[in-house]
Structure 1
Amino acid sequence: MSTPVRDPLEPVRRAVLDHARAEAETQLAAAREHAAQVDAQARRDAEAVVAAARREGEAEAAALQATARSRARRDAREVVLAARQQAYDDLRAQVRAALPALREDPAFPAWRQRLVAHARQVLGEHARISEPPEGGVRAEADGRLLVLTLDDVAAQVLEGLGSEVEGLWATDSAGAGESP
């Protein structure tokens, strides 16, 4: 029987192989640790990006909301101002519609005389006075002309009302409405 021959390099091979296995396990453990660190950092970075995007989105949404609120207030103000203008125009139309009836009022002759006196004060006592077809006073003197029609006088009266007309805009009986 022969004795098996033992390879004299077997212990060296085994030692090298064991060392290689141990080194591989060490490197694999280090790689796993590094991968876990990279993964954790990537998660933190992703969370930071998401948080920053959320903050940016919230800031942008807040800015858009502020712009929308401002636009809505401006639009509402335009609606209110248009309604006020319409109310003023309606008042002016009602006043103009009532002007022809003034000629029949018993106080009209005295009122017209005050217009004549005003015209003579402006143009002089020698001013020629007539009545335009729309009513009022037409005065001429030395090439100068002053025409005070009923419509002109009514417009001046309405303009002279100023803040008194603001009562039209009141939204409640306490006058808490917004003024123009």
Structure 2
Amino acid sequence: MSRPLSAAADAALEPVRVALLAAARAEAADVARQAETQSNRLREEARCAADRMIADARAAGEATATAALAVRLARSRREARRSALSAQRGLYEELRRRCRQAAASIAGTAEYELLRRRLVDRAREQLGMEADVVDSPDGGILASVGSRRVDLSLPALADRALARSGPEVAALWTA
């Protein structure tokens, strides 16, 4: 067991106790200041990290949205082009049908026999005089010699005329 100190010893130790208490309070205040400083620094670092994460997420979101928009725009352009080409094809087929119809109407005219003779002459120029020439069921003629054939039917002539007018037909799509 420890013995109680005498009043004189107790009084002599008072300045030591006061000094130890002051030192402990000073150290506690210093530790509290350091803790406050570190806490402020950590909060600032966390705030900066959060700001970076938000900025990164925003940039990633914008990049994703931009990419998605580019995909949608490309898809829309392709669909518009597909629709335009489909409409052009339909119009071209209608023009072709009308050209063939107009060519077929020649077969019932007085001028048809002159046209038919010219077609026969042309077939013989291309294949020779021994060419076998027959009337096409659609008007015009079909000629052949061996494996060589010439189609001078009215629908084939209409198709060729339409094909030669390509620039004029193409101008219809830009008008």
Alignment of 1:51-130 (within 5 A): 51-130=55-134
Alignment of 1:1-180 (within 5 A): 5=7, 7-8=10-11, 9-141=13-145, 144-170=148-174, 175=175
- Is there any run of 5+ residues in structure 2 with no aligned partner, and where? 1-5
The answer (yes or no) to whether the contact 2:104–2:155 under 8 Å persists in 1 is no
Structure 1 range deviating more: 122-131 or 27-36: 122-131
- Is there any run of 5+ residues in structure 1 with no aligned partner, and where? 176-180
Structure of greater relative contact order (alpha carbons < 8 Å, 6+ residues apart): 2
Question: 2 CA distance for matches of 1:65 and 1:121?
Answer: 62
Give the SS at the match of 1:42.
Answer: helix
TM-score (norm 1): 0.81
User: Which amino acid is 1:74 matched to?
Assistant: R
Q: Aligned-pair distance for 1:143? A: 6.1
Match of 1:178 in 2: none
Q: Aligned-pair distance for 1:14? A: 2.7
Give the SS at the match of 2:108.
Answer: coil
Question: 1 CA distance for matches of 2:52 and 2:24?
Answer: 41
Question: 2 CA distance for matches of 1:107 and 1:169?
Answer: 34
**Alpha-carbon spacing, 1:56–1:111, altered in 2? closer, same or farther (3 Å):** same
Question: 2 CA distance for matches of 1:98 and 1:37?
Answer: 90
Q: Aligned-pair distance for 1:76? A: 0.9
Residue-pair matches, total: 168
Give the SS at the match of 1:126.
Answer: coil
Q: Aligned-pair distance for 1:144? A: 4.3
Q: Aligned-pair distance for 1:127? A: 2.4
Structure 1 range deviating more: 5-14 or 122-131: 5-14
The answer (yes or no) to whether the contact 2:133–2:142 under 8 Å persists in 1 is yes
Percent identity for Structure 1 against Structure 2: 36
Give the SS at the match of 2:151.
Answer: strand
User: Which amino acid is 1:32 matched to?
Assistant: E
Question: 2 CA distance for matches of 1:56 and 1:144?
Answer: 67
Q: Aligned-pair distance for 1:161? A: 1.2
